[in-house]
Structure 1
Amino acid sequence: MMNRNEILHGLRHSPKVDVCVLGGGINGLSVFRELALQGVNVLLVEKADYCSGASAALSRMVHGGLRYLENGEFSLVRESLVERDRLLRNAPHYVAPLPTTVPIFDTFSGLANGVVRFLGLTRRPSRRGAIAIKAGLGIYDFLTRKRALMPKHQFRSRKATLGKWPALNPAIRNSATYYDAWVSHPERIGIELLRDGLSAGPNAMALNYATVEENGAGTFLLRDGLSGETLLVRPRLVINATGGWIDIANGALFPPQARPAPLMGGTKGSHLIVDNPALRDMLDGHMIYYENEDGRICILFPYLGKVLVGSTDIRVDDPGTVRCEADERDYILQSLAFVLPGIAIRPEEVVFQFAGVRPLPASKDSFTGRIPRDHFCTVLEGEGGGPPVLCMIGGKWTTFRSFGELAADMALERLGLPRRIDTAERTFGGGRAFPKDPAGWSRKLAAASDLSEQRAAMLFERYGTDAEDVAAFIAAGPDQPLPHGGYSARELVFLIRNEAVEHLDDLLLRRTTLAISGALSLAMAEAALALLAAEKGWSAPRTAEERARFLNLMHERHGVSEQTLSARNEHRSELCETTARSG
């Protein structure tokens, strides 16, 4: 895999590429991988870090989209269920079945919604009753009947529901349980797609922290955001896969007099991570997929030892400034209090929050829940001899592979090139050679690398079968413990060296789950920073600047202050002292 300096050196001497993909979110990485595996000379450029926008802010659901049936989006639901099942097979290290329970408060409500939508009218969403939900789940079962990877749905009576979940709102009439899936490390799936594309050879190149803008006469100016260097690139085709930033990116790709009309109309979704063991245990491994009193769909489910709860659906103009605002946080907690009136969440139990922009097509629909969630591609012809720009519009995380395939096939047709490899059943990353007996595999890894069985199992949980490479690196040199006992210095150094880590948030928010799981302390952040600074050769002032940058990001975007991180230091020290005394 080429490093950053090698890529920049190669572009200085040979600026021509077949395709330049803008956007290193899940859809951009997917189309990059598709094209790279076909032997296309492809360059991916991401202005921040890979999967740092909407692809870091999803609900962690891998699903068909039960509520999209109400919009009449049957083909999207069918495609989503097929891709969900492929991910269960191709990425079993990160994607797993999730029993999902729907509390039902009415019997007949919601039946008119689908009819009204079919007639092209608008209607504020109403509560979905038992009959509407039963019909939707029947369609779900029908669409997956041939694969049958998971059980069919089942209905429970009010008594049976409250017997299993006594904390639920007692006003319910029934509940229904069906199976979808969840993803534990979506940002790591993005990195694995990147690495799978780069494995194709020197025809595939990728840069994070870089931008592209039109330069006239069919050329574009690539700006390295780290060094400030600029150089020319000459693509035959540009793919705009920037999601909520598509219109902003088009503004840089076309001269002012030729800028296209807006294509996007994204909405913001915010989520909270809650550290409440009673709530987590009460869920019993299920997602609760419920409607708030206003008809808005909300979710909560166990996530990495905590509980994920969300979300909102608010129109936004600038995707670069989104964060979970106080009123959204209040709304989410109010929705939780509605469905589980006996559960009280204290402010300090919200250990992390995040927000992202759903990349939806431009729409005048007055209700955001009615905006189509499907995906498609629009080609804008270049100006003044410039290359065409293929814009990837819409899309949901679950369908990233099929969306990338669609865009790649359109690009291949434009370039007059054949498809050589089908990715539908291609495993990737730590899903390759996935064992039937993970515990036995981890024991063998421990014996081969001289790590403890516990550490080997932890590495397998984080990286799947790629844990073999991480363990070999850890065992190859002297290691040091870190303030978070689940990680060591050499594990983080492996990530820094092999996964394009350029900033501290790349490491702590996306290559690991330390921040989102509420496990990050100030001491751990500073230890990780020391490792990163040593690897990058940063000066003391540059390191201090990075520390301030990270702490500001955690506070402004994720609601975690330096004082909160520092308090976690003290909490961990107390735990260590208690453990030592009990030992």
Structure 2
Amino acid sequence: MRDFSSIDSTAFDLIVIGGGVNGAAVARDGALRGLKTILVEKGDFGGGTTSWSTRLVHGGLRYLEYFEFNLVRESLREREILLNTAPHLVHPVQLTLPLYDYSSRSYWEIQAGMILYDILSFDKSLPNHRMLRPAKLRQLFRAVNPNGVKGGSQYYDGQAEYAERLCLEIILSAQAADAVALNYVEVSELQRHGDRVIGLTCKDGLSDQTFTIGSHERTMIVNTSGPWVDRVCQQGVEGSTPAPIGTTRKIGGTKGSHILVNPFPGAPDTAFYVEAAADNRPFFIVPFLGMYLIGTTDLKYEGDLDPVKADNDEVDYLIAETNQVLPSARLTRESVRFTYSGIRPLPYAEGKKPGSISRNHILFEHAAEGVKNMVSLIGGKLTTHRRVGEEAVDWVYQQRQQPVPPSPTRHQPLPGAILPNDRRITQAFADYGDRVQPEALDHLFHLYGAKAVEVLALIDESADLAEPIVSYLPDIKAQIVYAIRAEMAYNLIDICRRRTSLAIQANYGYDALAAIAETLQRHCGWDEERCDRAIQNYVTYMRENCIPDYVLQSDALETPKAPAIVG
């Protein structure tokens, strides 16, 4: 059971609500600049919008058509910063944009946009774009549908395959700077007095304990709860009287869904950025963890935020549009290995089409609604999270009427960053090469960066932790123990979905559950009852969030059984 007694007696300078990538960035920036900081997240770190993205760190090429030049410039600058401060998690990726006669932009309009994209990324380390005439496009990609093709373009952006781990490393960096970060803690009340929030009543989702996060006269609160921003604002209570913070709706989310499929005939070596033939909506086909990530949809959404799942129509749409541009793929519903879906926390914009709603973020100051020490983030995306953190902490210092110190996050690497001349990889192969397969060592450094040596050190405690979790993947059992001991994982969903990618790669994670449960019993003190309950909760989560309804209706997926218990 977690102990919250020290929190009850501490007055924090900065309270962050929401532990996605933006909230993590605010907490890290605040702690690094010397603020006494606490972050609370109602679920797991990175478990919301962060884990629902297309995992691209990009400038937003299509934002140019809405004349959001400042957003594109900001995004391209942040892309470059991430390539340098998180090189183990953010990598360059080439994108190919095929153009057809049904495309909404002509060849020359795309070329003009690409030139502007290069100009706005004048300080980049990535190559400039190149245009492709129809013959060249067909030469490079013989599987591309030739009917009506007008050519194309190639350019570079960034990819963060492990977006959840990017978020986690930001949290770990914040903790190293003395921030308190708590997952599975939900804010149940914003305690108001006059024009201030004077404290937060919180509930620990792991133990049902209730505790209070206190404040002082200069405490500032940053609400980065994404799609749940409005819900948090409704938790205001003055004395015993409900007093919501504002009555205007701020979030008008849109639903975005993705599917994952195995490599298929004609699958491109690079990422594709495609305009759908059915409705001209842009979507991506991206190489991802040995598979292909296809998405996203962009639909207005007014339903429940928990849970959200790709529906059958969305799956069919993404399959059909992929087959349209790459006819030899011949994807079907049976090709889909995993799905995920979530809600973008976009500004509420009545009457606007989802694709035309600005992706720029807004720091909404609640002073206009009678609360002076709170701001809510509306919008925000994976690429610009660091900038969101910097802006929010600047606001905190301004409200506190203090000089604003410079943010160190533009240049400070994340904990796992492996920089030039780092010898840890070479040393790890020398130290563990006789106990761990080379592909597993390589995988660990891709997943954990420099912190892979901490995972490997667990093997010195027990040799069985060098064993693979499933035979066909490079993940080893030490990662399970490390997730519990060092990464604040509390359940199988945390381990399979966010600390590793087993949920995506191992048959919805089902193939890994027996080995995980055995390891947790042997090394982490879990008993049979806890493992059995954890497996049941995991299966429920997968059914409600990731397994398509048509699969569930067909009973094509066997429900895993609890493993044999270690004696």
Q: TM-score, normalised by structure 2?
A: 0.89
Give RMSD over aligned pairs.
2.5
Alignment partner of 1:58 out of 53, 63, 66: 53
Alignment partner of 2:95 out of 84, 92, 100: 100
Tell me which residue corresponds to 1:496: 484
Q: 1:346 offset after TM fit, Å? A: 3.2
1:555 matched to 2:543: yes
Tell me which residue corresponds to 1:442: 425
- Alpha-carbon distance in 2 for matches of 1:265, 1:389: 20
Tell me which residue corresponds to 1:162: 138
Tell me which residue corresponds to 2:2: 5
For residues 362-441 of structure 1, the aligned pairs below 5 Å read: 362-381=348-367, 388-417=373-402, 418-419=404-405, 421-431=407-417, 433-435=418-420, 441=424
Q: Which amino acid aligns with 1:325?
A: D
Tell me which residue corresponds to 1:333: 319
Alignment partner of 2:493 out of 480, 497, 505: 505
Aligned residues of 2:89 and 2:160 also touching (Cα < 8 A): yes
Structure 1 gap segments, 5+ residues each: 110-125, 570-583
Compared CA separation, residues 342 and 169, structure 1 to 2 (3 A): same
For residues 287-298 of structure 1, the aligned pairs below 5 Å read: 287-298=272-283
- Alpha-carbon distance in 1 for matches of 2:514, 2:80: 40
Could you report, residue by residue, the CA deviation over 1:132-154 in whole angstroms, capped at 9, with x for unpaired residues?
21111010111123x24121111
Could you report, residue by residue, the CA deviation over 1:282-324 in whole angstroms, capped at 9, with x for unpaired residues?
3023334334331100110111100010111111123223210
Q: 1:521 offset after TM fit, Å? A: 4.9
Is the partner of 1:162 in helix, strand or coil?
helix
Is the partner of 2:211 in helix, strand or coil?
strand
Higher mean Cα deviation, 465-474 or 476-485? Answer: 476-485
Could you report, residue by residue, the CA deviation over 1:17-47 in whole angstroms, capped at 9, with x for unpaired residues?
1121100001000001000111211110100
Tell me which residue corresponds to 2:335: 349
Q: Which amino acid aligns with 2:260?
A: I
Counting matched residue pairs gives 537
Aligned residues of 2:458 and 2:478 also touching (Cα < 8 A): yes
Aligned residues of 1:45 and 1:211 also touching (Cα < 8 A): yes
Q: 1:390 offset after TM fit, Å? A: 0.8
Q: 1:216 offset after TM fit, Å? A: 4.8
1:179 matched to 2:185: no
- Alpha-carbon distance in 1 for matches of 2:353, 2:305: 19
Higher mean Cα deviation, 80-89 or 419-428? Answer: 419-428
Compared CA separation, residues 193 and 398, structure 1 to 2 (3 A): same
Q: Which amino acid aligns with 2:5?
A: H
Structure 2 gap segments, 5+ residues each: 562-567
Could you report, residue by residue, the CA deviation over 1:310-364 in whole angstroms, capped at 9, with x for unpaired residues?
1111111232232101111111111112211232113232111001111111112
Aligned residues of 2:469 and 2:477 also touching (Cα < 8 A): no
Tell me which residue corresponds to 1:35: 30
Q: Which amino acid aligns with 1:502?
A: Y
1:460 matched to 2:436: no
Q: TM-score, normalised by structure 1?
A: 0.87
Q: Which amino acid aligns with 1:396?
A: K
Among the aligned pairs, what percent are the same residue? 32
Could you report, residue by residue, the CA deviation over 1:405-448 in whole angstroms, capped at 9, with x for unpaired residues?
101110122123442542111111211x42368xx753321213
Higher share in helix: 1
Q: 1:68 offset after TM fit, Å? A: 0.4
Aligned residues of 1:102 and 1:288 also touching (Cα < 8 A): yes
Could you report, residue by residue, the CA deviation over 1:507-546 in whole angstroms, capped at 9, with x for unpaired residues?
1000001112345553411321343456664453333222
1:275 matched to 2:265: no
1:206 matched to 2:181: yes
Aligned residues of 2:222 and 2:376 also touching (Cα < 8 A): yes
1:264 matched to 2:245: no
1:310 matched to 2:295: yes
- Alpha-carbon distance in 1 for matches of 2:301, 2:518: 37
Aligned residues of 2:265 and 2:328 also touching (Cα < 8 A): no
Compared CA separation, residues 222 and 558, structure 1 to 2 (3 A): same
- Alpha-carbon distance in 1 for matches of 2:513, 2:205: 24
Could you report, residue by residue, the CA deviation over 1:494-516 in whole angstroms, capped at 9, with x for unpaired residues?
12110110111001000001112
